[in-house]
Structures are given as structure tokens and as C-alpha cells.
A and B are shown apart, each in its own frame.
Chain A
């Protein structure tokens, strides 16, 4: 079982109505699987799901990236710095 901390940002945080939570994500899940799990936990994320990117331990994660127990996952809507 991978127990991971998930941190939400911007529009995703508004929908989920919390900054962060811990979730149980099965064994050795991919980033894509974790995103799907988050959408099923928070159906409000569905309309924006395709635009979301995940980070793992503050690095941008490819869809197939394997997430481990204790990782920190960021839910990142499209960014707008500058």
C-alpha cells in the first residue's frame, strides 16, 4: 500500500476544499492511477482532470511514474507565473 500526501493547488484546491490530505493508493501505483483515484474521491475534479499534472516529491511526474509509500504528490492545474 502506498500512503501518500496529496497537496492541491489553485482551482483544484477550491474544488476539493482542502489544501492537503493523505490517501491510500494501492501498491506501486502510476501517476495516472493516482490521478484517477483522486478524481473518483473528488468527482468535482473531473472537468479539469485532463489539464491536471502531478508532481512527485516536487518533481514533475510522467504519467507512468511509479509512486511510492511516503511520496508527496502535488496536484497542479495549468500554471501562470510571471
Chain B
């Protein structure tokens, strides 16, 4: 049975911690995806952004996504963390770490998890561009 950890957090995310968490003596490969805040959007230079979350639902859905991953691939461990609140440029907004016996399933599982996080969590981001905040246009939430 794969071990899974996931949470929404207001604290800084340290990707090394997630990588350490998925460490497993039977793992031959670990893939870590790290999402960071970009300094530009289609509307210009971004000064920072704020994530609003439906925390209770987001954490439930993160568990669902992690469970999907462990069902689809024979992974050893999965850790997923997403920030909420205000973030500056370059800060880590999301991390997904997956360990497995071989690298192929770790890459696939990690890719799947981050893609699901993008469209399957009740999270919204408000960009600050030249002093004005605007909600980033998203996609309808997917079950």
C-alpha cells in the first residue's frame, strides 16, 4: 500500500522535504514537480499573487487525486502540497513528489497528479499586475 501525504498550506513549501518524505528503500526513481510563481502573464509584469481556496474541499480532493495515482501506478509514496494566501515571484506554489520502483511510472504519475491539481481543485488565483488585482481565468472544476 503506497503512503500518501497531501495538504494545502499557508507556509512556505520546501520541495526537499517532499522529496525526503517519499524516500523509500524499494524506490529506484523519484520525480518531483515544483511549480513557481512567474513574473509575467498575458497582462504584463506580475508583482505577486494570491491563492484563494475552498480549503476543506481542496484537501478532500487532493486525497482523491493521490488515491487515483496509487491506483493507476505501482508507486511507493506520494506527497503533494499546494499553497494558499499571498505569494511573491519565484515562490513555490505547488510540489508533487512521487517515488516508485522504476522511473517511468514515477514520471507518469507525477505528470498525472499535477495536471489533475490544475483543473480538479477548488483554488483560484488573483494576480497583481501594475497594482491591480484580477482573477486568472480558469477552467470549470473537473471531478
Q: Which residues of A contact B (CB under 8 A)?
A: 7, 9-11, 13-14, 51, 53, 55, 58-60, 74, 76-82
Contacts and interface: CB of A to CB of B under 8 A. Distances in A.
Chain B CB within 10 A, most for which of A59, A77, A78, A80: A80
Contacts of A13: 52
Of listed A13, A14, A81, residue having the most chain B CB within 10 A = A81
B124 A79 contact: yes
Contact of B94 (A11, A53, A59, A81): A81
Interface stretch (B19-27, B67-75, B115-123): B115-123
B141 A60 contact: yes
Contacts, number: 78
Given A9-B52, A79-B122, A82-B117, A55 B57 contact: yes
A8 to B, nearest CB: 10
Nearest to B94: A82
A79 B56 CA distance: 15
Interface string B79-91: 0001000000000
Contacts of B140: 51, 53, 78-79
Contacts of A51: 140
Given A79-B121, A82-B114, A55 B54 contact: yes
A55 B64 CA distance: 15
Interface residue tally on B, bucketed by range: 20 to 34
Contact of B52 (A10, A58, A78, A82): A10
Contacts of B141: 53, 55, 60, 76, 78-79
Given A77-B135, A80-B123, A9 B54 contact: yes
A24 to B, nearest CB: 23
Contact of B124 (A7, A9, A53): A9
A81 B52 contact: no
A60 B135 CA distance: 21
A58 B60 contact: yes
Nearest to A52: B140
Contact of A9 (B60, B120, B122): B122
